[in-house]
Amino acid sequence: MDDTHAPTVGAGIGSTALGRLQLRVPDDGGFEDVVVERRWPDMVAARAWCERTIARSSAGTTVMEVQVFEESWRHAKSWETTRHRPVAEVLQLAVVAADGSLRWAEPRSMTPRAGARHLL
């Protein structure tokens, strides 16, 4: 695993990281698409979990997508009826190298860029 660090997340209740794997697993002569997610205290732990899970996957499993999100937990607004929920702030993707290891891209902020046009 490389030493790539994500930018810190803004203020809120706290922050966590979500590791998400999309796999195509052999199943009775066919394949089944499976999404596995697990929440961790930080992106380093989430990346390590992704690497361990892929290393332990069964023969014939194809890794479709590897994502790690850094999330901030925010208080709900006074008019919202939903509970506290995480908001993804940073995304880091990975690809599987020829030797089976994961190669991580640079973490990217998911917040809108200043000056970017948005449809309302």
Mean pLDDT of the chain: 82
Task: Find out whether 30 and 62 touch, Cβ atoms under 8 Å.
Answer: no
SS3 label, residue 102? strand
Return phi, psi of residue 52, to 5°.
Answer: -65, -45
Q: What is the pLDDT of residue 29?
A: 86
**Residue-by-residue pLDDT tens, the chain, 120 positions:** 444 444 444 444 688 999 999 999 998 889 999 999 999 999 999 999 999 999 999 888 999 999 999 988 776 667 766 666 777 889 999 999 888 889 999 999 887 665 555 554
In three-state form (DSSP H/G/I as H, E/B as E, the rest C), the secondary structure along 1-44 is CCCCCCCCCCCCCEEEEEEEEEEEEEECCEEEEEEEEEEECCHH
Query: 92-105 pLDDT, tens per residue?
Result: 999 998 888 899 99
